[in-house]
Amino acid sequence: MELKEQINLEKLPKHIAIIMDGNGRWAKEQGKLRIFGHNKGVESVRQVVEAAVEIGVPFLTLYAFSTENWNRPKFEVAALMEILVSAINKETKTLMKNGVKLNAIGDLKQLPAPCLKQLMRAMDITANNSKCTLTLALSYSARQEILETTKKLIDKVQRGELKAEQINDEVFSDHLETADIPDPELMIRTSGEQRVSNFLLWQLAYSELYFIDKLWPEFGKNDFYEAIVAFQKRERRFGLTSEQLS
């Protein structure tokens, strides 16, 4: 039986988040520059988005560029931005064809103007699509998101719009950048690294974490399906006992 056929479509995770790691290492193994790996990684993005649409995963979030990534060599950062603009240009038609709505979180004002312009254009074009919401985390830091959310809530309390005792998990979540997106039920990270690297720290509180040794450019549809099959075999207790769940 193929992996896709092993998936229980009645128990799909509503939201899958992915840390796309290993582009540079993959390129190095090929004797190429790191940028070659980033270019190749775009194909893996296409495969994963198509796979999500095919089986009906409504939300997909990809960690594309962290705030820490700005500290990489300027040449690599500039090339990454060019790849991002090119990929968005090329993939907008495919997003429309597959009914995918493009979304973005992070400190987007840090992006180069041409990159931000193309991103906003693609988001506008795909705004009415409803099969899947693809969120790109760009210039993103979960710690910074939590700090900014805290400041928003403090400001509301000071202006009398909110009482401190009214602040709970739900209110806090409603002020995050992902307010309109359910928390990920499954987080996938490629390349064998086993950490969350400042990605969706609040939202991943009860996510199932899945680590795979494959580098991102090697990751395809079957790997995506395999992660979902593994997820569906896990018991999600949320602090309860197995007996309570049964």
Is 69 noted as a catalytic residue in this protein?
A: yes
Averaged pLDDT score across all residues of the chain? 94
Q: Each residue of 115-144: pLDDT tens digit?
A: 999 999 999 999 999 999 999 999 999 999
Q: What is the mean pLDDT of residues 186-206?
A: 97
Fold of 11-141+183-233: Undecaprenyl pyrophosphate synthetase (3.40.1180)
Interatomic CA distance for residues 45 and 57, integer angstroms: 15
β-sheet with 59-66: strand ranges across: 100-105, 132-140, 59-66, 15-19, 186-189, 208-211
Is 223 noted as a catalytic residue in this protein?
A: no
Q: Each residue of 49-99: pLDDT tens digit?
A: 999 999 999 999 999 999 999 999 998 998 889 899 889 989 999 999 999
Q: Which of 8, 23, 69, 174 is catalytic?
A: 69
pLDDT at 241: 64
Domain ranges in the chain are 11-141+183-233
* Sign of the alpha-carbon dihedral angle for 62, 67, 73, 74: positive
pLDDT at 243: 63
Model confidence at 1, pLDDT cuts 50, 70, 90, reads low
Three-state SS for 158? helix
- Can you give the pTM of this predicted structure? 0.94
Model confidence at 244, pLDDT cuts 50, 70, 90, reads low
Model confidence at 240, pLDDT cuts 50, 70, 90, reads low
Give percent of the chain with pLDDT exceeding 70. Answer: 96
pLDDT at 235: 85
pLDDT at 28: 95
Q: What is the mean pLDDT of residues 168-197?
A: 97
Q: Which of 8, 21, 169, 213 is catalytic?
A: 21
**DSSP labels, 48-62:** HHHHHHHHT--EEEE
pLDDT at 60: 98
- Tell me the residue length of the chain: 246
